[in-house]
Amino acid sequence: MLERTNDLIPCLDHGYVKLIDVMPHADAVDLSFNTNIADYAIIDAARVSYQSGTTRKQSDKQLLRYLMRHWHTSPFEMVEFKFEMRLPIFVMRQLVRHRTASLNEESARYSVMEDVFYEPDTLRAQSTTNKQGSAEGDFNPFIGPRETATAVMNHQTDEAYKLYQQLIEAGVSREQARMVLPVNLYTRVVWKCDLLNLLKMLRLRLDPHAQYEIRVFAEAIAEFVKLHCPWTWEAFEDYWQGGVSFSKEEIDILRYLIPFTGSESFNAASQGTKLSKGELLEFQEKFNRIANGES
């Protein structure tokens, strides 16, 4: 269970995710009816498309879910989150791959970096099925007769920082002295991203196959998204994170696996579902298209 204290969530041994700002603010949206500021900013943006302005209806939540379900994504770009993060450099490199975000990182050209490194207690073995992943479970082999892998790694980290300090004290420029620092050094960034691309990032980095360390920071970011736009998060979990898609070839196989089901049987099977009437009709249409061999 993540610990959230005063808008800051600790991550790993010395890292954190801190929420700095969310746009829009309360004064930008009519909140006389609700406090879902971010959710209603999305709804308002969508309603402008068909010139209904910000008229309030009972179907507000259903409209937002429709947008998410059908990938009408531009309204989700109307919300932005800004975070401050302290994270290891090798984790930050995965974060910056999401190039739609804006960021500013702590500079080792101007500042002397702190002696703060990510030092795990245990490691993970290389996966035998995924070349870029690791296996489940703790792993801490001996390197040499007496020293564990983590002990050797931590020793090398300490030695690298001592050399860094010696270079600085000898007058070597900070921008060159930093070259000896390893990528488990903690850095700080301010990271701003619109909600759409933030959700795309979370869809990848919350996946169980994502590297554990980046997943920790994604889980912290997700806590803030859930807090400020709960309707959006619920739709995200239902349609993007919890849903699957099929290729044309996979659908061809499904046609042989799924016999045609009449409306009575379909209605009986769908009893108790939380799908809305509109969602259920869409599902039945998709099911029948597969079962009947329609394109």
Tokens of 67: 């947008």
Block residue for tokens 């919300």: 79
Cα–Cα distance measured from residue 150 to residue 130, given in angstroms and rounded to the nearest whole number: 23
Tokens of 152: 């050797």
In terms of C-beta distances under 8 Å and separation of at least 24 residues, what long-range contacts does 106-112 make, across chains too?
106/187, 106/188, 106/189, 108/174, 108/175, 108/178, 108/181, 109/174, 109/175, 109/178, 110/174, 111/174, 112/168, 112/174
CB 137 within 8 A of CB 225: no
Question: Catalytic residue positions?
Answer: 205
CB 202 within 8 A of CB 193: no
3-state secondary structure of 186: strand
CB 117 within 8 A of CB 184: yes
E strands within the chain?
A: 8-11, 15-23, 80-88, 102-105, 142-143, 147-148, 186-194
According to DSSP, residue 9 is labeled E
Cα–Cα distance measured from residue 199 to residue 137, given in angstroms and rounded to the nearest whole number: 28
